[in-house]
Structure 1
Amino acid sequence: MLIVIVTVVDMLAPSSVHLGPFLVAAPAVTASFAGPRTTGCVGALAVLAQALVAIVRTSLVDLNHTIQLITLILISTLVTLFAYWRDRRVKELAHVRSVAKAAQGVVIRPMPPRVGKLRLASVYLSAEREAQIGGDLFAAARTTRSTRIVIGDVRGKGLEAVGDAALLLGAFRSAAHRQADLGDLVAFLEGTVSSDLDNPVDPEHRTEDRGEAFVTAAVLDVPDDEPVLHLINCGHPPPLLLGKGGIRLLEVSRPAPPLGLTEFVHTEVAPQRFAFETGDIVLLYTDGVIEARDRNGTFYPLTQRLEQLTGSGDTEPETLLGRLCADLLKHAGGHLGDDAAMVALQRLPGHS
């Protein structure tokens, strides 16, 4: 339509008026939404229209029209190349997203809806939109009489954080169902993380000082036959218990240092016991949740928002996380500054 209008008006206009330069807008606008083939066709059509105007008004060899034709050809070629490279970039990004999504499904598997006497739900929100994967982690494992859950946050971002998260998750999945004592399990995870940090690395492929690397984690053991949970907190934000008495933090009296720092901070690792009744929900989360800021720089008030979101009562883990994610993203303006992971577990009635 633009080409037709400009061409007709240019042919009917007085000889002192030249509207040919406006034909450049046709391929330029097309390149913003269409592929290189369509852009090239529109550019060629604009060149033919300019040639028709030149023939009708004077001739093709007229200096003014010759310059307009050459300019239109050059610009049409450039915007077609732009559309080609943009199309190629879009396809590459789509491939990267699909690979990242597949990698996340392998490294951080979604929680099953039910494990033992627990109903579970999980969510992972990556700060890197194109990557869809980062350094936050969670996993669940069964023993003969309990369910064990870990949630953690690797210091840093990018591929190094993903590698450290995969290492810790692999160690947890291989040992959680065999370790008789929760303290022994955490000690095993600590040894795995520390041994990786001690390995020599190529400085050209490491962007941070590995001596400053660590992983915060909370490790839980929930027995099937007892309304309690056992918790070891290694420098991680304390879980929240949503029960009949309201919402309270599960803060251990003697927190352990983050995994990878016991070389610098020596402490005994021992689980602490908390009541966990039927119908109660425990929310595990990483610091990307509580450190999310709004446009005024205000941190996300997790406890306050949970009280509002669960005011009606009888909330299931999946429903709770769905409401919480929507509210969190709304608070942060649709984009988080750091990865965020959340796991909700609810004790079911009866026997598993």
Structure 2
Amino acid sequence: MSAAGLEAPALPAWMRWLPVAYVAAVLVLEPVTPVQWPVSFLLIALPVVAAYTFGPVGVIAAAVFAVGFEGVLAGTPCCAGRSSHDLLERHYVGAYISTALVGVLGTALAFHRRRQETHLVNVNSVAEALMRTLLRPVPHRVGRLLAAGLYRPAVVGSMVGGDLFDICDTEAGERAIVGDVRGKGLQAVRTVADILGSFRQVAHEPGDLAQIADSMERRMAREAEALLDSELFVTAVLIEHDYQAQRVTIINHGHIEPVLISGGEVHALVGPPALPLGLGSLDSEPPIAYTHRLGPGDVLLLCTDGLIEARDPAGDFYPLLDRLRHRFAGRPAPTPVDVIDFLDTDLPRHARVLGDDVAILAITPDVSEPPTRP
């Protein structure tokens, strides 16, 4: 167990019974074999079998049991070639010594396996703590918005990924980002940290959404130069909510279009596309912001491509708009939590295994008394 309280996944129940099943198979095999042979020789492998499941102490116990049981079988007429034998015959002594040597090797293997498990748990706990620091839990209320978020890593049991989201309350209104970094692994985590750090800083500075996007574009260019990666980019959608005007401003940098659930209808908010963050130098035109109404009862959904590209066993993509229409069309306005909970349960029914990380953010205007902005 790590300092963070994480521990290695529990072994399947069948693996815990593997040494017992191996001994039972040896005992069953000998009587049904027409050739007379010393069945106890097969017990030489028992310590290695135990090393797959147990720790060093368990392997030592298995080795001692194997040597003792070999002696019992060697002196049993029904099991040792169907005739009585001397327990100290040379080939039996060789089997005892071989079993002891295999026991030593199995003990070393079990010790190494346990040490590797502890190391992996510690590394994973550090990575998870890092990702939880970067991807902060989405508050239920942010300024004049109600919000909910979901993050599902493609690798089960790991929080490390290249998807990101964040939302904050600023003087200009609530601003949010959902993005997907090209690449995976620790380099992607570094880029996630950079892009979120940039957003959290510039989101509170004066300027409109286009200026925020431009600042983040320059940050990505510096990151690409530092990493010597000319193909580094982040697809992202940036939004700014204006409560008084009941509208949301959107800039889409090569990302999936936001989805609006409004008045019992579900549709994507398509607007002028822009190149992903980090590739802005390839386009002479600046990104164009577009607006859309976001009133009480409307839910805006932002997600990464891991959601819509999740495949079922037949290879079909997750039909996001159709599933949302099936669940929410013609019904009372949902809350962000309703939408996130639905996707959290519906996605695993469609795809048992995810091919990419999934990040989802849902927001709606808070119809209660709006807080006073400082």
* One-letter identity of the residue aligned with 1:23: L
Q: CA deviation at 1:100?
A: 1.3
| Distance 1:179-1:216 versus aligned 2 partners, 3 A rule | farther
Q: CA deviation at 1:327?
A: 2.1
Alpha-carbon contact 2:264-2:328 (below 8 Å) kept? no
Q: CA deviation at 1:223?
A: 1.6
Are 1:41 and 2:68 matched, yes or no? Answer: no
| Distance 1:169-1:78 versus aligned 2 partners, 3 A rule | same
Once residues 123 and 246 of structure 1 are traced to their aligned partners in structure 2, the CA distance between those partners, rounded to angstroms, is 22
Partner of 1:295: 313
Q: CA deviation at 1:47?
A: 1.0
1:105-254 correspondence to structure 2 within 5 Å: 105-129=132-156, 131-199=158-226, 201=228, 210-252=229-271, 254=272
Runs ≥4 in structure 1, deviation > 6 angstroms?
A: 1-7
Q: CA deviation at 1:275?
A: 0.6
Partner of 1:265: 283
Q: CA deviation at 1:290?
A: 1.1
| Consecutive unaligned residues in structure 2, runs of 5 or more | 1-19, 31-35, 77-83
Q: CA deviation at 1:198?
A: 2.8
Once residues 191 and 89 of structure 2 are traced to their aligned partners in structure 1, the CA distance between those partners, rounded to angstroms, is 69
Alpha-carbon contact 2:253-2:273 (below 8 Å) kept? yes
Q: CA deviation at 1:26?
A: 4.5
Once residues 51 and 337 of structure 2 are traced to their aligned partners in structure 1, the CA distance between those partners, rounded to angstroms, is 43
Are 1:102 and 2:129 matched, yes or no? Answer: yes
Q: CA deviation at 1:278?
A: 0.6
Are 1:281 and 2:299 matched, yes or no? Answer: yes
Once residues 129 and 54 of structure 1 are traced to their aligned partners in structure 2, the CA distance between those partners, rounded to angstroms, is 48
Q: How many residues get paired?
A: 337
Once residues 141 and 89 of structure 1 are traced to their aligned partners in structure 2, the CA distance between those partners, rounded to angstroms, is 40
Partner of 2:154, secondary structure, is coil
Alpha-carbon contact 1:96-1:130 (below 8 Å) kept? no
Q: CA deviation at 1:301?
A: 0.8
Partner of 1:308: 326
RMSD: 2.6
After superposition, the C-alpha distances for 1:202-243 in whole angstroms (9 at most, x for unaligned) are: xxxxxxxx2222111111001232211111111110000011
Q: CA deviation at 1:130?
A: 5.5
* One-letter identity of the residue aligned with 2:93: T
Q: CA deviation at 1:5?
A: 11
| Distance 1:80-1:330 versus aligned 2 partners, 3 A rule | farther
Match for 2:348 among 316, 326, 329? Answer: 329
Identity, % of aligned pairs? 33
Q: CA deviation at 1:29?
A: 4.4
Q: CA deviation at 1:17?
A: 5.7
Partner of 2:109: 82
Are 1:317 and 2:336 matched, yes or no? Answer: yes
| Distance 1:68-1:124 versus aligned 2 partners, 3 A rule | same
* One-letter identity of the residue aligned with 1:108: L
Which sits farther off after the overlay, 146-155 or 62-71? 62-71
With the length of structure 2 as denominator, give the TM-score of the two structures.
Answer: 0.82
Once residues 25 and 187 of structure 2 are traced to their aligned partners in structure 1, the CA distance between those partners, rounded to angstroms, is 57
Once residues 60 and 240 of structure 1 are traced to their aligned partners in structure 2, the CA distance between those partners, rounded to angstroms, is 78
* One-letter identity of the residue aligned with 2:150: V
Once residues 194 and 32 of structure 1 are traced to their aligned partners in structure 2, the CA distance between those partners, rounded to angstroms, is 48
With the length of structure 1 as denominator, give the TM-score of the two structures.
Answer: 0.87
Once residues 189 and 153 of structure 2 are traced to their aligned partners in structure 1, the CA distance between those partners, rounded to angstroms, is 12
| Distance 1:52-1:157 versus aligned 2 partners, 3 A rule | same
After superposition, the C-alpha distances for 1:9-44 in whole angstroms (9 at most, x for unaligned) are: x9xxxxx66331343465344333322211211211
